Structure 1
Amino acid sequence: MNDTRRPFRFGVLTKGAPSRAAWHELLGRIEGSGYSALHMPLHTTPQYAPFVALADAAARTALTLTTLVHNNDLQHPALLARDASTLALLSDGRFELGIGAGWKDGDYHQLGLPMDPGRLRVERLGEAIDVVRRTWSAEPYTFKGKHYTVQDLQGLPGPRVPLLVGAGGERMLRLAARTADIVSFTRSMSAGSTAREIAEDVSLESTERKAAVVREHLGARAADVELHVLVVRAGVGDDARRQLDEYAAASEVSAATARQTPEHLLGRDRQELEDLLLERRARTGISYYVFRDVHLDLVRPVIEHLAGT
């Protein structure tokens, strides 16, 4: 990209903990390890309710709080905007709203909801973002779109809420470039469903192309928009080698492709992990990385060294 001047920022993704005590212990470990953000997903699989858990975290930590990501089809955007405004207000401006068009068919199946084609879901998300931002203005408004109708609604005033949009396909990348403060790179649902197709879509080269699409549509906003990715595999030494070999064999991609994939942080030692992050920031512009809670302690030395640089 590239612009390597944007400082690194790191977060942890979690679905919760087995008990209240374990939850509080997890929050303490995250905040004490150099991470600055706590992310929570929204799925029908067993997990904490994101806004409830993030509100508790807001009261107990100084972390930035983020939904990664809220499925737009599961809540009316005007009510989602109110939830976001409330949490931003109660956290003194430490909330980022992550939102996406929905991708996991199990969420729809378990709730008895139809899962529309991707084009319609992206179109609906575009309207939803418009509704969310109008609600955040705290001025009464009326909205009539193809998917949503809002009549004489006034939102809740509060601190500005950065908008994170998860995007992988062309339509979503363009929408994210138009609307987001943070663009989170994900897999494209239209790129295919085989292990190889998925691996190729999330590769470093593919992510570079996605970043180029975003930059093309950002225009003058390019310097103000943060690029983000969730790291799903992390490891060092023999464990890293094992994960790389397994991934390369299952997806039929080269070991080099597996190693360089932005969703992975796998290397010989801490120095190689740092080098990988620096290289990826230089090539893609991604500076905001989020790790799963199971990797919290593993990646801690890297985070402590690179956070804010």
Structure 2
Amino acid sequence: MTDTTATGKARPLRFGVVAPITTDLPTWRDRVRRIADSGYSTLLMPDVPQWQPAPAPTLAVAAALTDLRVGTWVYASPVRAAWNTAWEAHSLSVLTDGRFEMGVGTGRPGIEDQLRELGLPEVPRSQRLAQVREIVTALRDLDGPDLHTPVVMAVRGPKAQALAAEVADTVTFVMPPDEPRAEVTRLAHDFRATHDLELALHVPVIGDSVAPFMAPPDTDPAALRAADSLAILPSDPSAAAEEIQRRHEEIGFSYFVFGADVADTLGPVVADLAGH
């Protein structure tokens, strides 16, 4: 039986790719064009200072190369002042004719060390969620009545889920790669019981390939398979398609996000399933 949202309708499938610049620019541009030609909806950039170019100008270049939607996966709220993040996001919405999606969260594990390295104040975890609210509030003010920049919010606990239900369009659950399927399913079903938002699933591992920027480099694909984790999909396209449909129908995930290194491998799956 197909799982439905609170409105009783299953959302169509769509697919995003986290595609940081890890090669020379011509190679990256060619990859962006192939991603667009394969039926993916969105090209995404991580927000990790000093590891690669900043997300905003990189996404602006990607949007000029293709007609893809672009987005952050995801802005870390403590890294910039709330208004600056909102201004950047609003500007991308304007410059891409509404093709930008703002992914935002409180920061990956270990962000305290990153903030110290950048000379930024260490923001207590209890205050980071308030920063997310400030960012979205400022974004809505900048957008005004004629523009709505979609917000994708990374959440875990009840406070984050409550804020997402209030301000976001899409939710992705923050979880360690080895989180069991049963626990993620419980989170998704509990959330969808009362909230009609798109659910996104972050899938950093395909077969034995671990996507850069999406999971720790010591992630063990075999351990994920043993744990029946949702952070991994089979590398075989037919098996991957079957599992994606299962997660769509049984749990309610409709937006799947992969790493760029497997975008070509999963291209036939995306072309077949997108929009269904």
TM range (shorter): 0.7 to 0.9
Matching residue of 1:271: 238
Matching residue of 1:204: 181
Superposed displacement of residue 54, structure 1 = 0.7
CA distance in structure 1 between the partners assigned to 2:87 and 2:273 by the alignment: 35
CA distance in structure 2 between the partners assigned to 1:52 and 1:230 by the alignment: 23
Matching residue of 2:201: 229
Matching residue of 1:133: 140
- Ranges of 4+ aligned residues in structure 1 off by more than 6 Å: none
CA distance in structure 2 between the partners assigned to 1:44 and 1:20 by the alignment: 18
Amino acid at match of 1:83: E
Matching residue of 1:176: 164
CA distance in structure 1 between the partners assigned to 2:265 and 2:188 by the alignment: 28
Q: Give the alignment of 1:25-104 within 5 angstroms.
A: 25-103=30-108, 104=110
Matching residue of 1:286: 253
Does structure 1 retain, via aligned residues, the 8 Å contact 2:154–2:172? yes
Would the alpha carbon gap of residues 203 and 45 (structure 1) be closer, same or farther in structure 2, given more than 3 Å must change? farther
Identical aligned residues as a percent:
32
Does structure 1 retain, via aligned residues, the 8 Å contact 2:90–2:139? no
Structure 1 unaligned blocks of 5 or more: 139-157, 188-197
- SS of the aligned residue for 1:137 comes to helix
Superposed displacement of residue 214, structure 1 = 2.3
Matching residue of 1:191: none
CA RMSD of aligned residues (A): 2.3
Superposed displacement of residue 20, structure 1 = 2.5
Does structure 2 retain, via aligned residues, the 8 Å contact 1:174–1:214? no
Amino acid at match of 1:271: S
- SS of the aligned residue for 1:212 comes to helix
CA distance in structure 2 between the partners assigned to 1:161 and 1:277 by the alignment: 27
Would the alpha carbon gap of residues 116 and 82 (structure 1) be closer, same or farther in structure 2, given more than 3 Å must change? closer
Would the alpha carbon gap of residues 246 and 263 (structure 1) be closer, same or farther in structure 2, given more than 3 Å must change? closer
Question: Which of 155, 160, 165 in structure 1 is aligned with 2:153?
Answer: 165
Structure 2 unaligned blocks of 5 or more: 210-218
- SS of the aligned residue for 2:120 comes to coil
Matching residue of 1:2: 3
Superposed displacement of residue 13, structure 1 = 0.2
Amino acid at match of 2:62: A
- SS of the aligned residue for 1:298 comes to coil
Does structure 1 retain, via aligned residues, the 8 Å contact 2:154–2:174? yes
CA distance in structure 2 between the partners assigned to 1:199 and 1:38 by the alignment: 22
Matching residue of 2:214: none
Superposed displacement of residue 285, structure 1 = 0.9
Would the alpha carbon gap of residues 126 and 297 (structure 1) be closer, same or farther in structure 2, given more than 3 Å must change? same
1:13-44 deviation digits (Å, cap 9, x = unpaired): 01114322122111111111121210001012
Would the alpha carbon gap of residues 32 and 102 (structure 1) be closer, same or farther in structure 2, given more than 3 Å must change? same
Does structure 1 retain, via aligned residues, the 8 Å contact 2:90–2:142? no
Question: Which of 99, 107, 124 in structure 2 is aligned with 1:117?
Answer: 124
CA distance in structure 2 between the partners assigned to 1:95 and 1:62 by the alignment: 11
Does structure 1 retain, via aligned residues, the 8 Å contact 2:19–2:259? yes
CA distance in structure 1 between the partners assigned to 2:61 and 2:77 by the alignment: 23
Superposed displacement of residue 265, structure 1 = 0.8
Superposed displacement of residue 203, structure 1 = 2.5
Would the alpha carbon gap of residues 35 and 89 (structure 1) be closer, same or farther in structure 2, given more than 3 Å must change? same
CA distance in structure 2 between the partners assigned to 1:137 and 1:278 by the alignment: 37
Amino acid at match of 1:107: Q
- SS of the aligned residue for 2:3 comes to coil
CA distance in structure 1 between the partners assigned to 2:94 and 2:220 by the alignment: 45
Superposed displacement of residue 5, structure 1 = 2.7
CA distance in structure 2 between the partners assigned to 1:117 and 1:266 by the alignment: 38
